[in-house]
Amino acid sequence: MATIIKDTVKEARGRLEGLYGRQEAEALVSMVFTAIFGLPSYYYSTEPGMELPDDSVGRFFSCVSEMEKGRPVQYVLGEAEFAGHVFKVREGVLIPRPETEELFRLAVSDLRGILKNVPSEAFRSSGDALKEPFIMDFCTGSGCLAWSLADFFKDSVVLACDLSDDALEIANAQNISSNRPVFFKCNVLDAGSALSVAEEALSRETGNLSGKDCSGPCRLEAWSPQHSGQDGFRGPCSENGESACVRGKFDLIVSNPPYVRESEKSLMRSNVLDYEPEMALFVDDEDPLVFYKALSQLCSELLSQSGIAYFEINEALGEETSSVFRESGFVTRLIRDINGKDRILRVCRRD
């Protein structure tokens, strides 16, 4: 007997409603329906009697079975949408969130204004705009921010780092733009080491861009699966082993670091707790702002005079997070997300 759209979708929704509720179950089924059958979800309404191929029906219900166990749909499909792009994801890598996309859009709008109106010391073209704005993404995860920014600002230099080899492997494997970010491994909490690695990465990348001879020991060597377990880049850029990069070059710094307190686990859904990486989510209640303290130090060294930084933050710690940066001399602004929660922090230097 042929399987038609109406029966297939109805069964899938029924199996998922108990776990997710009706509205979310409908959204999840629509995502999987489109991914597996390659058909718009509205076909359920316009073509309910359309027959579906048996092999695809089997794969569709295999996905439904995984979601019945609570496995996130993005991991089931191996992909997640972000800023108009489709990113590869898997267990061990944080799933991109709508709130992070809000951060992306705010940062894009802000940086566009800066590049258009504010002179800068970095790689100037003949006009007032930067030829190659420098962007850094700390705790890059899947690389969704780094890749999306690199694609939007196609002449930019984008560097991105993470401590997780799983995250770096996925981020490096994305293919979103011809303007590829440079990914490298570093521990943001070791601000001194992270600064050194970031400076060396920028030094190498700008050396390549400016046409310098970077053969031999000065050649750019970013993270790759073969470098798993190693931090940063190998080989000095100068004879004395010091980075040739001048600090204060980054026009935009972004980060979505771990910020959920251990005590807040009880407020989270099981499909997040059971499947997504704790390393990318949680911080100790005794020092929940530890990543922002390190990021404040890094911004002090890396952010250009006219540069900006955007961070995703814990909604319950907005003022406290702002204070970390204000104490370092920055101007801050809390921004509410689409749900009215303090979710994004904008940081810039004082005039």
The β-bridge relationship of strands 330-336 and 342-349 is antiparallel
Q: What is the CATH number of domain 91-349?
A: 3.40.50.150
Q: How far is CA 340 from CA 2, 98, 117, 240, in A?
A: 47, 13, 30, 51
Cα–Cα distances in Å, from 247 out to 107, 168, 294, 329?
Answer: 21, 25, 16, 17
Work out the pLDDT band at 114, boundaries 50, 70, 90: confident
Residue 310's identity, in one-letter code, is: Y
Dihedral angle computed from the Cα positions of residues 21, 25, 28 and 29, in that order, rounded to the nearest 10 degrees: 170
Is the CB of residue 72 less than 8 Å from the CB of residue 63? no
Query: pLDDT for 258-313, tens place per residue?
Result: 999 999 999 999 989 999 999 999 999 999 999 999 999 999 999 999 999 999 99
The closest alpha carbon to 217, from 230, 229, 203, 231, belongs to 203
Beta strands 260-261 and 282-283 are: parallel
* Inter-residue contact 160 to 168 (CB < 8 Å): no
Question: What is the reported pLDDT for 191?
Answer: 76
Cα gap 285→130, rounded to integer Å: 42
User: What DSSP string describes 59-123?
Assistant: HHHHHHHHHHTT--HHHHHTEEEETTEEEE--TTSPPP-HHHHHHHHHHHHHHHHHHHHS--SSS
Domain ranges of the chain: 3-69, 91-349
Cβ neighbours, 10 Å, residue 269: 10
pLDDT at 247: 67
More confident residue, 2 or 81: 81
pLDDT of residue 199: 74
Q: How far is it, in rounded angstroms, from Cα 54 to Cα 110?
A: 49
Q: Note the pTM of the prediction, 2 decimals.
A: 0.86
Report d(CA 25, CA 46) in Å as an integer: 20
Kindly report, residue by residue over 71-105, the tens digit of the pLDDT.
999 999 999 999 999 999 999 999 999 999 999 99
d(CA 22, CA 325): 43
Q: Under CATH, to which class is 3-69 assigned?
A: mainly alpha
